[in-house]
Amino acid sequence: MSTRLEAKMEALRQAGRKALFIYITAGATGLEETIEAVRGAEAAGADVIELGLPFSDPMADGPVIQASSVSALKHGMTTAKEIELVKKLRTFTDIPLIGMGYINTMLHYGFEKYAQDFQAAGLDGFIVPDVPHEESADMRAACEKAGLHYAEFITPGTTEKRMEKTCEKATGFIYCVSNNGVTGVKKIDYSVIGKVCEKAKKLTKTPLAVGFGIGSPEAAVAAAEHADAVICGSAVVSRLLEGKKDEAFALIHSMREALDAAYGKE
């Protein structure tokens, strides 16, 4: 039996389409606003929601996502409220939900309990950017026990030897970091991560998702050439933080249309 994420990715693959992951920080503008943002993103064409689980000292995140985490914490966001948020989202959507969080929070809560409680609420997996593969065994095991995906990473600097290890047991998707920097809209030469993706495809059938720097339909199309999915975060989050939700949804819709126009749609 496949998971929500596996079923979605397989359906898109069979249709010859690329997946669009949209990052939204939980509670950045309030809980109800986050629910509205997820609903709007899905209606606009998002295939997967990457739900940011705010932390005071995030790694890999650029200024926009950092600001959204600060805002969420000021709004009183906690792990308990994040779990309740996932439960509320599951009352109206079956879209795959992937939590992006940080290891300190998970360790403090308890790895197994963290994975079990989020899985029971309806989450489908985790992205944990501040723990290298070699030190992630405990959280990966907790996710596996709970039936959750644990995303692995590859970057422009990943060696083939290391890639063999990270791809070996990867499920759900592999996060392909487009550049050696932090999140945020910027001009990226996606052929660099593209070469890494081509090597990964020889090692795994797990879908590849390119993230970092994608803030326009053109960038989404360029990044998708090398992978099964693209991830957009800062460009959407910045608009949500500014109260420009219609602009955020319009951007998502334009990306969806551009991806379908470039790569086909049944």
Give the pLDDT means over successive 10-residue stretches in the chain (266 positions): 91 96 96 97 98 83 83 94 98 98 96 98 96 93 97 91 90 87 58 91 95 91 95 94 96 97 78
Residues 6+ positions from 261 with CB-CB distance below 8 Å = none
94 is catalytic: no
Q: Tell me the one-letter amino acid at 33.
A: E
Catalytic entry in 6, 42, 47, 61: 61
Q: Tell me the one-letter amino acid at 206.
A: T
Contact between 217 and 4 under an 8 Å Cβ cutoff? The reply is: no
pLDDT at 1: 56
50 is catalytic: yes
Instruction: Give CA–CA dist 28/34, Å, rounded.
Output: 7
DSSP 151-180: -EEE-TT--HHHHHHHHHT--S-EEEE-SS
Beta bridge partners of 20: 230
Catalytic entry in 6, 42, 50, 152: 50
Instruction: Give CA–CA dist 63/238, Å, rounded.
Output: 10
Instruction: Give CA–CA dist 245/229, Å, rounded.
Output: 23
- The domain 4-263 belongs to what CATH superfamily? Aldolase class I (3.20.20.70)
pLDDT at 184: 43
